[in-house]
Amino acid sequence: MLFDEVALYYEKLESISSRLEMIDVLAELFGKASKEEIKLLVYMTQGLLGPPFDSIETGIAEKYAQLSVEMATGHNHSEIINLYHKSGDMGLVAEEFRKNTKLKRMEHTSHTVNDIYEKLIKISETSGPGSQDAKIKLLSFLISSSSPLGARYIMRLVLGELRLGVGDATILEALSKNATGDRKLKPKLEDAYNICSDLGNVAYVLATKGIPGIEHLGVILFSPIRPALAERLPTAEEILERTGGTCSVESKYDGMRVQAHFNKESKKVRLFSRNLEVITEMFPDIAKALLEDTNCDKCILEGEALAYDDISGTFYPFQETVQRKRKYGVEEASKRLPVVLFAFDLLYCDGESYLSHTYSERRKKLSEVVGKGSVIKLSEMITTSSPKELERYFTSAIERGLEGIVAKDPRAPYIAGARKFSWIKMKRSYKSELSDSIDLVIIGYYFGKGQRAELGFGGLLAAVYNQKRDMFETITKIGTGFTEEQMKMFKSLLDKIHLKKKPARVDSLLEPDFWVEPKYIITVNADEITRSPMHTCGMNHSGKEESGYALRFPRIISDGIRKDKGPEETTTTEEIIEMFSQQKKTKI
Ligand code: AMP
């Protein structure tokens, strides 16, 4: 398949304002790809060059992209900068100057999808002295030998800014539609995706092995499994009711979730964050302990990593643990504040998947696997049928500086990628305020008035994710509580992703001054959830009852953008509705 044809589909996708139409166009596009191409095409459509956890980056920054356009088209630096400042999109700049090139027109080569992919990989693999020049030359060649429209999307892919507004669920539905003519295969495809976190691989298995291949897709060591998530309930009684009268209760540690994959034979360890980024470098001590202090050869286990003082029994705050994100000082930090992995689940061991085993069985195996070392410890756990005992355990967890508890249904399998009542969290509650913070995705922003006009930033329009509809629904505007520094930071980040029209997967009755690509997550606290006709979160779209849910007095609690979550990992509409009903119960 020619990349020019893909570019035409991408252009069409950009102009569409309905999600269903988007699925039709994508399905048609996937239908044109060969079995060999489909994997690459799916990655490209995600704006990536491989599965997200492989983090393949071209290493081309804006400045080098500008130099490539200069080299490819003969236009000078200031012409390029001017147009870039006007459009804010290097893709459009490459397209425009490719159209009006000042150089002798190079033969327009009909690059295939494979060609383009291989060249982009080559750019990403070019390293060492002189590599920037080599990268610029390679990109310049691609721009000058492609069609103008092709150049637009190549440039955006190179910079990691494809911005088609297509989400994972949209791609899964399009794959289903292409394979069977309707969207009914999506749940099966989603199960396969939850096991390997690699949409390209799901598409490839479907194309080569059909539905049976998808049904039998097993755990792949070193490909992360999408993490199980916890529901919330406010009382011990409700928790026990949901778990059939008995549950296992673990301490809820406030650190970083780690999914650890290791193979002792090849001495390979890979640690993934909750967001499936590779974070092995942050925790060399955990990687070492996995190879030395465990009782199995190949394994996938999960736990919470946090700085912990074994002697005094002190758990250090999350901030201390994440400081290790900075590459420098990891070694220094491990000496000063040792990190412990409190293991709480086991998903695979020595050739056998444990995903469909019950929690009790997984926990038994986990306790055999975790050795006696000081770096990897079993999470604390009791099993109980008594609400009183559950409450006591919760109170003692809080007293010891923990966040609360996570109760687990002993009968339940590991439910990858979903929030179900097999795990239930209970945290400290803050009386009059909502008992939990809420993660929102920014979908637009407003100009400032008065003093803020100078900064060009007046506030945010934010949304939650509705999983059933695969849409972002608005829940609040946030106009107060920003520091000047934050306003500047938001303005500069959001300017880079602003869009001319509302994205197809955003549902909003409000019109901000600027729409932005749903990309950045913020965490807020609010006083309560109220019903509101202004916001689309939880609106009954079929009937006439047109009231949604909104946040009262929202205030940002994170320093800025949360980097460990993607737009589909915000608090969901379902959770908001659940929190609203719990809030009503508490008030009565
Ligand atoms: P939350 O992020 O508030 O939705 O809570 C779920 C998170 O709690 C998980 O993603 C884990 O990172 C963390 N956690 C801490 N301790 C445990 C535990 N014992 N079992 C499961 N999750 C835990």
Distance 112 CA to ligand 1 centre (A): 45
**Is residue 230 in contact with ligand 1, taking CB distance under 6 Å?**
yes
* CA dist 409 → 172, 284, 369, 398, 422 (Å): 30, 33, 21, 21, 5
DSSP classification of residue 368:
H
Ligand 1, atom nearest to 251 Cα: 19
The answer to whether residues 406 and 318 belong to one domain is yes
Q: Whose CA is nearest to atom 5 of ligand 1?
A: 230
Distance 406 CA to ligand 1 centre (A): 7
- The answer to whether residue 171 sits within a structural domain is no
The answer to whether residues 398 and 457 belong to one domain is no
Q: Whose CA is nearest to atom 17 of ligand 1?
A: 252
- pLDDT number for residue 431: 37
The answer to whether residues 513 and 396 belong to one domain is no
- The answer to whether residue 407 sits within a structural domain is yes
Q: Which long-range contacts (CB under 8 A, 24 or more apart) does 581-587 make?
A: 582/232, 582/233, 582/234, 582/435, 583/434, 583/528, 583/529, 585/234, 586/234, 586/429
Tens of pLDDT along the chain (588 residues) come to 999 999 999 999 999 989 999 999 999 999 999 999 999 999 999 999 999 999 999 999 999 999 999 999 999 999 999 999 888 899 999 999 999 888 876 666 789 999 999 999 999 999 999 999 999 999 999 999 999 999 999 999 999 999 899 999 999 999 999 999 999 999 999 999 999 999 999 999 999 999 999 999 999 999 999 999 999 888 899 999 999 999 999 999 989 999 999 999 999 999 999 989 999 999 999 999 999 999 999 999 999 999 888 777 788 876 677 766 555 566 666 666 789 999 999 999 999 999 999 999 999 999 999 988 999 999 999 999 999 999 999 999 988 888 899 999 999 999 999 889 999 999 875 334 566 789 999 999 998 777 677 788 889 999 999 999 999 999 999 988 888 888 889 999 999 898 989 999 999 999 999 999 999 999 998 888 999 989 999 997 665 557 899 998 888 886 678 877 889 999 999 999 988 887 766 544
463: CATH: 2.40.50.140
Whether the Cβ atoms of residue 346 and residue 300 lie closer than 8 Å to each other = yes
Whether the Cβ atoms of residue 408 and residue 359 lie closer than 8 Å to each other = yes
Q: Whose CA is nearest to atom 18 of ligand 1?
A: 252
Q: Whose CA is nearest to atom 23 of ligand 1?
A: 252
Global confidence as pTM = 0.85
**Hey, which of 232, 247, 253, 421 would you mutate to test ligand 1's pocket, going by the most ligand atoms within 8 Å of its Cβ?**
253
152: CATH: 1.10.3260.10
Distance 303 CA to ligand 1 centre (A): 9
- The answer to whether residue 587 sits within a structural domain is no
- The answer to whether residue 196 sits within a structural domain is no
Closest CA to 576 of 508, 498, 501, 524: 524
Closest CA to 303 of 358, 269, 350, 340: 340
Q: Which of 399, 431, 463 is the last residue of a domain?
A: 431
Ligand 1, atom nearest to 408 Cα: 20
Give the helix ranges, DSSP H, for 126-185.
131-144, 148-159, 168-180
The answer to whether residues 98 and 243 belong to one domain is no
Closest CA to 425 of 410, 405, 402: 405
**Is residue 406 in contact with ligand 1, taking CB distance under 6 Å?**
yes
**Is residue 252 in contact with ligand 1, taking CB distance under 6 Å?**
yes
**Is residue 164 in contact with ligand 1, taking CB distance under 6 Å?**
no
The answer to whether residues 59 and 107 belong to one domain is yes
Q: Hey, how many other C-beta atoms are within 10 angstroms of the C-beta on 177?
A: 22
Whether the Cβ atoms of residue 334 and residue 281 lie closer than 8 Å to each other = no
Q: Which of 403, 431, 459 is the last residue of a domain?
A: 431
CA 157 to CA 123: how far, in whole Å? 12
The answer to whether residues 24 and 99 belong to one domain is yes
Residue 507 token pair: 């549902």
**Is residue 379 in contact with ligand 1, taking CB distance under 6 Å?**
yes
Whether the Cβ atoms of residue 159 and residue 62 lie closer than 8 Å to each other = yes
Residue 407 token pair: 């109760």
Positions of E strands within 401-547: 404-408, 419-427, 438-446, 459-466, 471-478, 498-499, 506-507, 514-516, 521-525, 528-532
The number of residues in the chain equals: 588
- pLDDT number for residue 288: 96
Active centre residues (catalytic): 252
- pLDDT number for residue 129: 93
Backbone angles phi, psi at 62, to 5 degrees: -50, -45
- The answer to whether residue 476 sits within a structural domain is yes
CA 422 to CA 403: how far, in whole Å? 19
Q: What share of the chain is helix, strand, coil (3-state, %, to 5)?
A: 40, 20, 35
Ligand 1, atom nearest to 232 Cα: 4
Distance 252 CA to ligand 1 centre (A): 6
Distance 292 CA to ligand 1 centre (A): 26
- pLDDT number for residue 586: 56
**Is residue 315 in contact with ligand 1, taking CB distance under 6 Å?**
no
Distance 229 CA to ligand 1 centre (A): 8
Task: DSSP for 84-107, please give it.
Answer: HHHH--HHHHHHHHHHT-SSPPPP
- Roughly how many angstroms between the first and final C-alpha of the chain, as a whole number? 62
**Is residue 573 in contact with ligand 1, taking CB distance under 6 Å?**
no
Distance 446 CA to ligand 1 centre (A): 35
Closest CA to 550 of 570, 527, 520, 518: 527
CA 189 to CA 177: how far, in whole Å? 11
Q: Whose CA is nearest to atom 8 of ligand 1?
A: 252
The answer to whether residues 142 and 236 belong to one domain is no
The answer to whether residues 398 and 448 belong to one domain is no
The answer to whether residues 271 and 404 belong to one domain is yes
**Hey, which of 252, 378, 381 would you mutate to test ligand 1's pocket, going by the most ligand atoms within 8 Å of its Cβ?**
252
- The answer to whether residue 322 sits within a structural domain is yes
- The answer to whether residue 165 sits within a structural domain is no
**Is residue 228 in contact with ligand 1, taking CB distance under 6 Å?**
no
Closest CA to 302 of 345, 336, 357: 345
Backbone angles phi, psi at 577, to 5 degrees: -65, -40
Helix (H, G, I), strand (E, B) or coil at 47: coil
**Is residue 257 in contact with ligand 1, taking CB distance under 6 Å?**
yes
**Is residue 304 in contact with ligand 1, taking CB distance under 6 Å?**
yes
Half-sphere exposure of 147 (CA within 13 A, CB side): 12
| Angle (nearest 5°) at CA 143 between 77 and 24 | 125
Ligand 1, atom nearest to 250 Cα: 19
The answer to whether residues 237 and 144 belong to one domain is no
The answer to whether residues 463 and 426 belong to one domain is no
Backbone angles phi, psi at 267, to 5 degrees: 55, 30
Q: How many domains does the chain contain in total?
A: 3
CA 125 to CA 130: how far, in whole Å? 13
Ligand 1, atom nearest to 380 Cα: 19
**Hey, which of 301, 344, 378 would you mutate to test ligand 1's pocket, going by the most ligand atoms within 8 Å of its Cβ?**
344
The secondary element (H helix, E strand) that includes residue 307 is: strand 298-309
354: CATH: 3.30.470.30
Name the amino acid, one letter, at 410. P
**Hey, which of 225, 271, 304, 439 would you mutate to test ligand 1's pocket, going by the most ligand atoms within 8 Å of its Cβ?**
304
Q: Which of 142, 159, 176 is the last residue of a domain?
A: 159
CA 393 to CA 342: how far, in whole Å? 17
- The answer to whether residue 237 sits within a structural domain is yes
Domain hosting residue 283, numbered range = 229-431
Distance 253 CA to ligand 1 centre (A): 7
Whether the Cβ atoms of residue 561 and residue 491 lie closer than 8 Å to each other = no
The answer to whether residues 377 and 443 belong to one domain is no
